Structure 1
């Protein structure tokens, strides 16, 4: 049966509110939660970006059954992979085994802050490949030494090692990332309902593994207000991964989406309170073969009304599919 998740969207709420949202999501009956790992919001109008690993630690303690996952962490620029392994192991312990480590090749938006430049996509994937191997080695226990093209590890060891270690997910957007995920990941993550991505994942070893999709929605009893909010905060979403991964900051995202209209956003993101519209947006993910689908409710102040509505109306309709 398909599982439906909630996104702890760090770009649009304070850390205190994010924990409260996750607690309410568990109470509302969501099957799992994912959390974004950013240093910047995409647009200034979103207004937040706390340190997600501290938030995850708090959520792990404030909830009791809700599975958690980063969606996604880049383990190659801001963070060294050995440090990511330590973070993930700690959250797995704090959550009692409810954590999955979602990884990706990153976005210039967040990774530029360390001043290391922003290489082309093929180099970023090479770095991700090497990083995942380091993380897996550390999850196996013992001391790890690594002399690679991109990373050095000197006698590293995780002293607090969960059993089992967190499963690893990898975000995909094309053939090469699908090949990497099929070879190294326990699950695949995508933000578009493209069956060809899942087929490529399967060709490279992903058959039978979970596949997690994510899509934005904007609930509001006032549909016009929902459309305005989606446009103000999420109009960047339609730019596509190849563009979004390259832009260096919120001002660049604002400039790139200057001519995106409210009606353009409303055509790609379900807005309002029509359950059927939301179900129709989810359906392509089911048809593509996703086993888990995480919803992103747009707007920090709208989370609790959305979660109440989801509990009473949306989740029952989705499960009826």
Structure 2
């Protein structure tokens, strides 16, 4: 049975409003939530970037379902700090926190003034960081000298069981690599054939745990209104990797997009005025092989989407699953 979650976008919504939105999402019938972890928004019009780890403590305290996050240890976050943060959240809210770890994006990491490494180096750094985090969560004293450096670190306040650490991947190559260490896979909606390759690479590589999909949608009373939201708020979805990993400023994403290609944007975001049709489109993606689907309405105002989710979208998805 596919788990249907709500994605909380820190880049678009002030933390206080996002806290209300995640509570409304639980009341609407979502099975859980996940959130982004950015220092900067994707474009200037989004205009927000709350600190995810602070927000998660409040969100978990005000809800009863599970909430996870995407996180990139190794540059902006030292893995010892990440381990301590994860341990505290899981100790307070047992069985309700998870994280999907990735190699990061320059837009969030460049602020340290350290050089931005190439992808293979970032993957090596991620693998070392995951090992450090897991050892600390297991109660070890850790010293390490490699892509990351650690000196006699211990995490004293730990949960009974550590939270699951998933991997983020947008390509089959990365998904196959992650299968060796991850407790699940998280990716974003792409062409169905690409998603099939990503899931197959992870599973055929021995990858265990859930396969998680984040789906961007734009819902409004008319198709034109829904498209206008996507064009204003999520044109960054037209910037593909590896370029998207290497840009530093929100303005850089607007410049990279230039004139918006409507057909391509409609591929990146499910634009729809019909909640039934939207539910069916989400269900089609879930059937590719995903255990969890987190739905991200790309508008800054979440109320109408959450109302439609409660009355139509979630009931239809639950019928489909």
TM-score, structure 1 length as denominator? 0.94
Give yes or no for contact 2:172–2:198 (8 Å, CA) kept in 1.
yes
The 1-side partners of 2:188 and 2:19 are apart by 24
Aligned pairs for 1:1-321 within 5 A:
1-64=1-64, 66-70=65-69, 72-147=70-145, 149-192=146-189, 193=192, 194-207=195-208, 209-301=209-301, 303-321=302-320
| Aligned-partner SS, 2:160 | coil
- Gaps of at least 5 residues in structure 1 are none
* SS of equivalent to 1:43: coil
The CA deviation at 1:94 is: 2.7
Query: Which whole-Å CA distance do the structure 2 matches of 1:314 and 1:41 have between them?
Result: 28
CA contact (8 A) 2:226 2:273 kept: no
Equivalenced residue count is: 316
Q: C-alpha root-mean-square deviation of aligned residues, in Å?
A: 1.5
Tell me the secondary structure at the aligned position of residue 124 of structure 1.
Answer: helix
Q: CA deviation at 1:272?
A: 3.6
Deviations 1:125-151 (A, max 9, x none): 11111111111111111312222x211
- Structure 2 Cα separation of the partners of residues 261 and 180 of structure 1: 33
Deviation digits for residues 153-212 of structure 1 (CA, Å, limit 9, x no counterpart): 1111111101111100100123442233211111101113511111111222214x2100
Quote the offset at 1:76 in angstroms: 1.3
Question: How far has the Cα of 1:320 moved from its partner?
Answer: 1.6
Secondary structure of the equivalent of 2:152? strand
Deviates more, 1:250-259 or 1:186-195: 186-195
Contact 1:228 1:262 in 2 (8 A): no
1:312 to partner: Cα distance: 0.7
Secondary structure of 2:11's aligned partner:
helix
TM-score of the two chains, using structure 2 as the length reference? 0.94
Post-superposition CA distance 1:103-128 (Å, at most 9, x none)? 11111111111111211111111111
Shifted more, 31-40 versus 269-278: the winner is 269-278
Cα distance in 2, alignment partners of residues 35 and 95 from structure 1: 16
Instruction: Provide the C-alpha distance between the structure 2 equivalents of 1:270 and 1:205, rounded to a whole number of angstroms.
Output: 31
Cα distance, 1:307 vs structure 2: 1.0
1:245 alignment partner, SS class: helix
Consecutive unaligned residues of structure 2, counting only runs of 5 or more, are none
Q: Is the 8 A contact 1:46 1:299 kept in 2?
A: no
